[in-house]
Chain A
Amino acid sequence: MIEMTIDGIPVQVEEGSTVLDAARFYGIEIPTLCDHDGLSSYGACRLCVVEIGKGENAKLVSSCTYPAETGLNIRTNSQRVVSARKMLVELLVAMCPSSKTVQDLASAMEVKQVRFKVDKTNDCILCGLCVRMCEEQMMAKAIGFVNRGKNRKITTPFDKKSDVCRTCGGCLYICPACELRCQGPAADTDLCNACVNVQPVCLKEEDNKMCFLETCGWCYEELGRKNNKKEIIKK
Chain B
Amino acid sequence: MKKIKTVSDLKQIKETLTQNKRKGKTLITICGGTGCHASGCDKVISAFKRELKKKNLGNTVDVKVTGCHGFCEKGPIVVIHPKGIFYKQVKTQDVKDIISDTICSGKIIDRLLYIDPLSGKKITYEKDVPFYKGQERIVFADNGVLDPYKIEDYITIGGYTAAAKALTSMTPEKIIDEIKKSGLRGRGGAGFPTGLKWESCRNAKKTPKYIICNADEGDPGAYMDRSLIEGNPFSVLEGMLIGAYAIGANHGVIYVRDEYPIAVQTMKNAISQAQQYGLLGINILNSSFDFDITIVRGAGAFVCGEETALIASVEGKKGEPRQRPPFPTQKGLWGKPTNINNVETWANIPHIINKGSQWYAHIGTEKSKGTKIFSLVGKINNTGLVEVPMGITLKEMIYGIGGGIPEGKSFKAVQTGGPSGGCIPKELLETPIDYEKLKEAGSIMGSGGMVVMDEDTCMVDVARYFLEFLQDESCGKCLSCREGTKRMAEIITDITKGQGKDGDIELLQELATTVKDTSMCGLGQTAANPVLSTIAYFRDEYETHIMDRKCPAGVCRDLYISPCQNACPAGMNAPGYISLIGEGRFTEALALALDTNPFPSVCGRICDHQCMLKCRRNQMDEPIAIRSMKRFIGDYVENDITYPKAQTPKHTMPFKVAIIGAGPAGLSCAYFLSRLGYQTTVFEKLPVAGGMMAVAIPEYRLPKNILQREIDNIKKLGVDIRLNTQVGKDITFSQLWSQGYQAFFVAVGMYGDRNLGIPGENLENVIQAVDLLTDINLDKPVTSPAGKKVVVIGGGNSAVDAARTMLRMGAKEVTILYRRTRREMPAYKEEVEAAEHEGVIIKFLIAPEKIFGEKGKVKSIECIKMQPGEFDNEGRQKPVPVPDSNFFVDADILIPAIGEFSDVSGLFTGLDVEINRDGTIHCDKHGRTSIPGIFSGGDVASGPATVINAIAAGEHAAVTIDQYLTKDRNRTYIWREHKKIDTFFDPEAEPVQYKMVRQKALPPNERKGNFDEVEIGYTKNLAMKEAKRCLRCDLEIELQEKIREEKPVEAS
A residues lining the B interface (CB < 8 Å): 43-47, 49, 59-62, 65-67, 80, 83-84, 87-88, 91-92, 94-95, 115-117, 125-126, 128, 144-145, 147-152
Contact = CB atoms under 8 A, between A and B. Distances in A.
Interface in B424-463: none
Given A60-B518, A66-B325, A150 B476 contact: yes
A225 B547 CA distance: 38
B518 A44 contact: no
Interface string B486-517: 11001100000000000100010011001001
A189 B491 CA distance: 21
A199 B848 CA distance: 85
A147 B518 contact: no
Interface in B959-995: none
Contact of B519 (A46, A87, A126, A150): A46
Main secondary structure of the interface of B (DSSP, over half): helix
B480 A46 contact: yes
Nearest to A60: B517
A33 B325 CA distance: 21
B475 A150 contact: no
8 contacts: A43-B322, A46-B519, A65-B322, A80-B517, A84-B514, A87-B511, A88-B479, A94-B483
Given A80-B517, A150-B474, 15 more contacts: A43-B520, A44-B478, A46-B478, A46-B518, A60-B517, A91-B479, A95-B483, A115-B503, A115-B507, A116-B487, A145-B320, A148-B472, A149-B471, A149-B485, A152-B475
A118 B450 CA distance: 37
B484 interface: yes
Contact of A150 (B482, B503, B520): B482
A45 B476 CA distance: 11
Contacts of B478: 43-46
Given A43-B322, A95-B483, A145-B318, A88 B518 contact: yes
B303 A148 contact: yes
Interface residues of B, number: 35
A61 B475 CA distance: 19
A52 to B, nearest CB: 11
A155 to B, nearest CB: 13
Contacts of B883: none
Contacts of B519: 46
Contacts of B473: 148-149
Interface of B: 301, 303, 318, 320, 322-323, 325-326, 471-480, 482-487, 490-491, 503, 507, 510-511, 514, 517-520
Contacts of A94: 483, 487
A43 B322 CA distance: 8
B306 to A, nearest CB: 13
A192 B519 CA distance: 27
A62 B521 CA distance: 11
A84 to B, nearest CB: 5
A87 B476 contact: no
B518 A84 contact: yes
B486 to A, nearest CB: 5
A91 B484 contact: yes
A78 to B, nearest CB: 11
B319 to A, nearest CB: 8
Contact of B483 (A61, A66, A91, A151): A91
Contact of B517 (A59, A115, A126): A59
Given A83-B514, A87-B510, A145-B318, A65 B475 contact: no
Contacts of A95: 483
Nearest to B504: A115
A96 to B, nearest CB: 10
B493 to A, nearest CB: 11
A140 to B, nearest CB: 17
B477 A44 contact: yes
Given A46-B519, A84-B517, A87-B514, A149 B474 contact: yes
Nearest to B515: A87
